[in-house]
Amino acid sequence: MSTARHSAGRSIAAHAILITYTVIALFPVFVIVINSFKARKAIFRSPLELPNSETFSLVGYETALKQGDFLLYFQNSLIVTVVSLTLVLLFGAMAAFALSEYRFRGNSLMGLYLALGIMIPIRLGTVAILQLMVATGLVNTLTALILVYTAQGLPLAIFILSEFMRNISDDLKNAGRIDGLSEYRIFARLVLPLVRPAMATVAVFTMIPIWNDLWFPLILAPAEQTKTITLGSQVFIGQFVTNWNAVLAALSLAILPVLVLYLIFSRQLIRGITAGAVK
Amino acid sequence: MGTLSLRNVRKSFGNVDVIKGVDLDVEDGEFIIFVGPSGCGKSTLLRMIAGLEDTSSGTIEIDGAVVNAKPPNERGIAMVFQTYALYPHLTVRGNMSLGLKQAGRPKSVIEERVAVAARMLSLEEYLERRPAELSGGQRQRVAIGRAVVRQPKLFLFDEPLSNLDAALRVNTRLEIAALHRQLGSTMVYVTHDQVEAMTLADRIVVLNAGVIEQVGSPMELYNDPANKFVAGFIGSPQMNFVDAGLVGIKDAETAGLRPEHITLASSGGRLGGEISHIEHLGGETNIYVNCADAGLVGVRMFGEHAFEVGSRHELVIDDSRIFRFDAEGKRIRLSK
Ligand SMILES: Nc1ncnc2c1ncn2[C@@H]1O[C@H](COP(=O)(O)OP(=O)(O)OP(=O)(O)O)[C@@H](O)[C@H]1O
Ligand SMILES: [Mg+2]
């Protein structure tokens, strides 16, 4: 009896803490979204009020979509994020497999070297990267961003995935070898499905910084046709006047794609967790 | 078909020598068991035969052909692992047929062989299930079935029963024995369980620290061990080793006494001491006697016996069955 009450109390406390955290975390997003639907005056007069018939206005969205090439920015962001993410997951998983599966000279040194990037922020190398991009003529291309983000995402991906892959039974891979599967098939058919939860984790942690980044788009690809959405939204923030309606609308729109991607991966995450629990 | 020869086979990981020169000839249809203490290289040797681990030097021949450079799937072998190692995303049928599919066998052949193997191992009901929906014993039968459908020249087993509980282990052991009789294929089997080794093997290979100590039939190893290591390894409870002088032998260093060749008496024994522990197993009784100079000596008596812990007894030893070993642990055989 007492344990039942005890656990009820504990679960109420846990829920209270989690709900408080959720409210705090979501509040700024909520404020941005509601204000993006209000007229300029209403944003400043009562920023926390929900839009009503008087204050409701789509002017922000109209400006955002008309001004600049908003859809193009959107597309750029999506291309950069999706391609970088794919490359990070593909190369990260392959490198992790090689590190965890094969014995070769310098294996652990290589692992250490590849993981070093977790501790050293890639932005420290911005000047060198810029020089490199200028030399190769990649400035103001999406390729430049994709290359940089792939490099930025790989260390963590390799680190996490190789730890997970080390835990996969050798016998399973050996059974595949005896049945005549190629190393690629063993990687793709036996190992990848078993590290899916880890892949989803890596995907989420890789994707969000890429989508939100302002630094590299500003330095490597500030041209009109390669602007990403975060950079594109900056046009509404001026030195003297800031078009708040448009900024808020642009930011609200920018949340959507990353939310969709997150939902896709988080389903994988949860499936991975429950699969482990039921076994 | 189905012979195996190892010629001076060696394996080192870095500068650690794990297999230090192994020579072995296995005849077609033989059931060979590798036994030895943990870490002696049994699994490594088996994996080298399978082609999962390359050979540092020496040659491995299967069926008369050197296979050192061949990948596992071209060696004509099949392997059963301790952890079952079933493909989690495939059904039982898929698990069993993958190897043949990879080898490009026609569908009808695959169907036929899977059906035969499933019948042999009573897996017919489970063909459409996934490994996660099977019990441990069923999973190991599927793993054996996966090996059977390949119709290999050589079956390799790496401790296939050690993840099963005691009762299931006995059943599966009988099934493997039946399988060997039925298929007549060559089998190489790794275990550290003596009972498995003694009951299944045609010949046992005793390994220690990467070298073969002795090869022989179970009874040869029991009755005629080549050295102290083999004598101590085969037989349970373990053979007792005492100073040869204590049992009246002058031309040897150590005397080996099997527990079953000693009886307790009130007088007339060469050794004597207090009983320190008794194990009643019903069919037999193991008694441990603390003898002053000789240390703890195990005695195995058949049937039930009532002795008091702490009581003094003399040990009567069957002189004709004492094993003699020299200072290096090598057996001194008496010329008959
Ligand atoms: N990949 C490896 N790298 C380095 N050493 C290894 C490797 N694999 C095995 N060894 C070493 O080789 C020795 C033999 O290992 P092996 O797995 O063959 O032992 P085993 O006889 O099968 O033991 P067990 O009965 O515990 O399974 C061990 O000392 C082990 O540490
Ligand atoms: Mg082993």
| Residue B14: band (very low, low, confident or very high) from pLDDT cuts 50, 70, 90 | confident
| Residue A279: band (very low, low, confident or very high) from pLDDT cuts 50, 70, 90 | very low
pLDDT at residue A2 above 80? no
At A55, list the tokens: 């204050």
Which residue did the predictor score with more confidence, A255 or B12? B12
Average pLDDT of span A213-217: 93
Average pLDDT of span A256-264: 83
Task: Write out residues 23-82 of B within 8 Å (CB-CB) of A.
Answer: 47, 50-52, 71-73, 77-79, 81-82
The domains found in chain B, sorted by start residue, are 4-230 (3.40.50.300), 255-332 (2.40.50.140)
| Residue A137: band (very low, low, confident or very high) from pLDDT cuts 50, 70, 90 | very high
The CA distances from residue B105 to A71, B71, B78, B92, B108, in Å, are 53, 19, 16, 18, 8
Ligand 1, pocket-test mutation among B34, B44, B208, most atoms within 8 A of CB: B44
8 Å CB contact between B205 and B35:
yes
| Residue B1: band (very low, low, confident or very high) from pLDDT cuts 50, 70, 90 | confident
Tell how far the Cα of B43 is from the centroid of ligand 2, in angstroms.
Answer: 4
pLDDT of A52-98, one tens digit each?
A: 888 888 888 888 888 768 888 889 999 999 999 999 999 999 999 99
Whether residues A171 and B83 touch (CB distance < 8 A) is answered with: yes
State percent of chain A over pLDDT 90: 47
Q: How far apart are CA B325 and CA A263, in angstroms?
A: 73
Looking at the partner chain, which of A171, A181, A194 has a beta carbon nearest the beta carbon of B102?
Answer: A181
Is the sign of the CA dihedral A215, A220, A223, A229 positive or negative? negative
Residues from chain B contacting residue A176 (CB–CB below 8 Å): 87
- Residues of A in CB contact (< 8 Å) with B are 169, 171-172, 174-181, 189-190, 193-194, 279
Nearest CA in chain A to B72: A178
Whether residues A177 and B71 touch (CB distance < 8 A) is answered with: yes
The residue contributing the CA closest to ligand 1 atom 4 is B13
Q: What backbone torsions phi and psi does residue B26 show, to the nearest 5 degrees?
A: -115, 130
Residue A273 pLDDT: 54
- CATH code of the domain covering residue A134: 1.10.3720.10
Q: How far apart are CA A232 and CA A217, in angstroms?
A: 10
Residues whose CB is less than 8 angstroms from the CB of residue A163 and which lie 6 or more positions away in sequence, other chains included: none
pLDDT of A149-183, one tens digit each?
A: 999 999 999 999 999 999 998 999 999 999 999 99
**Is position A114 within any domain?**
yes
Starting from the CA of residue B40, give the closest ligand. 1
**Is position A21 within any domain?**
no
Q: Is A80 helix (H, G, I), strand (E, B) or coil?
A: helix
**Is position A263 within any domain?**
yes
B235 lines ligand 1 (CB under 6 A): no
8 Å CB contact between A200 and A263:
no
State percent of chain B over pLDDT 70: 100
Residue A272 pLDDT: 56
**Is position A223 within any domain?**
yes
**Is position A154 within any domain?**
yes
Residue A14 pLDDT: 92
State percent of chain B over pLDDT 90: 82
pLDDT at residue A228 above 80? yes
Which ipTM was obtained for this model? 0.88
Q: What mean pLDDT, rounded, does chain B reach?
A: 93
Q: Tell me the residue ranges of DSSP E strands in chain B.
A: 4-13, 16-26, 31-35, 57-62, 65-66, 77-80, 154-158, 186-190, 203-208, 211-216, 240-243, 254-257, 262-265, 271-280, 284-291, 295-302, 312-317, 323-325, 331-332
Q: Find the angle CA(A187)-CA(A188)-CA(A191) to the nearest 5 degrees.
A: 55
Residue B53 pLDDT: 93
At B100, list the tokens: 């043949």
**Is position A259 within any domain?**
yes
Q: Look at chain A and report how many structural domains it folds into.
A: 1
Highest mean pLDDT among A195-199, B15-19, B244-248: B15-19
Tell how far the Cα of B93 is from the centroid of ligand 2, in angstroms.
Answer: 28
pLDDT at residue A46 above 90? no
Q: How far apart are CA B328 and CA B307, in angstroms?
A: 37
pLDDT of B138-187, one tens digit each?
A: 999 999 999 999 999 999 999 999 988 888 899 999 999 999 999 999 99
Which structural domain range is residue A109 located in?
A: 69-277
The residue contributing the CA closest to ligand 1 atom 31 is B39
Chain mean position to CA A113:
24
* Residue B122 φ/ψ region, left for φ over 0, alpha for ψ in the -120 to 50 degree band, beta for the rest: left
Whether residues B102 and A171 touch (CB distance < 8 A) is answered with: no
| Residue A258: band (very low, low, confident or very high) from pLDDT cuts 50, 70, 90 | confident
Residue A5 pLDDT: 59
Average pLDDT of span A240-258: 83
| Residue A278: band (very low, low, confident or very high) from pLDDT cuts 50, 70, 90 | very low
State percent of chain A over pLDDT 70: 94
Residues from chain B contacting residue A171 (CB–CB below 8 Å): 81-85
Residues whose CB is less than 8 angstroms from the CB of residue B195 and which lie 6 or more positions away in sequence, other chains included: B236
Q: Does B104 touch chain A (CB under 8 A)?
A: no
| Residue B73: band (very low, low, confident or very high) from pLDDT cuts 50, 70, 90 | very high
pLDDT at residue A275 above 60? no
Per the DSSP assignment, residues forming a β-bridge with B60 are B6
**Is position A48 within any domain?**
no
Residue A6 pLDDT: 66
**Is position A149 within any domain?**
yes
pLDDT at residue B195 above 80? yes
Residue B336 pLDDT: 57
